[in-house]
Amino acid sequence: MSTAAYAKDWQRLSSKGLARLNLSTLPAAELLFLDGLAIHLMGPEAPEPPYTIEHGTVIVGHLLRALVDCSDLEIEGRPPSTSGIEGARAAILEGAQQFAKRGVPGVKQLVNRLLAAAVGELEIHKESAEAQTRSLFFYGLLAVASGPDNRLTQTAADGIMEVFTAWDGQIGAGFVPPWRIVASS
């Protein structure tokens, strides 16, 4: 999807992305979100303090784009699942469905919930881009998993951190997202 098309109607597209999320597309959403955060926060144009709502908006944008774009990807080589990861994914899917049922107001609620947390986490972890990435990944998925009624279990929260640890370990072991693979001639 083009950036211009997404920018024009991001709320409706985000609501559709939340509604389409399922167990087969969720790992792609996780990886897209993690990759977007890592490139943004650890890259040459990483944001610097003081952090503002504009910085938080970029983080929220990475989450929403991951939710929209994940249905177009098939991820091979993803880390093995555990009961904690399965529980977290079930909570994320349930929360996503609940936000999607509310349509655009649900997307606005999700954005408002994550925006302030994103700015705060950028500031709290300003000394470490890696810690910012981990924390924002956690809080982004936590915001979805908690749904519009802000319900979340400790088990789901722990599972979300397990999801991060699993992807971090997979990437550390040499896994490269398919969109980062450059063909050689």
At residue 179, the pLDDT reads 82
For 151-169, the pLDDT digits (tens) are 989 999 999 999 999 999 9
pLDDT at residue 3 above 70? no
pLDDT mean across residues, the chain: 92
pLDDT at residue 5 above 60? no
For a pLDDT cut of 90, what percent of the chain falls above it? 81
Nearest to 89, CA basis, from 151, 162, 148? 162
Label each residue of the chain as H, E or C.
Answer: CCHHHHHHCHHHHHHHHHHHCCCCCHHHHHHHHHHHHHHHHHCCCCCCCCCCHHHHHHHHHHHHHHHHHHHHCCCCCCCCCCHHHHHHHHHHHHHHHHHHHCCHHHHHHHHHHHHHHHHHHHHHCCCCHHHHHHHHHHHHHHHHHCCCCCCCCHHHHHHHHHHHHHHHHHHHCCCCCHHHCCCCC
For 52-65, the pLDDT digits (tens) are 999 999 999 999 99
At residue 6, the pLDDT reads 52
The residue ranges of every structural domain in the chain are 14-178
pLDDT at residue 185 above 80? no
For 58-106, the pLDDT digits (tens) are 999 999 999 999 987 888 888 899 999 999 999 999 999 999 999 999 9
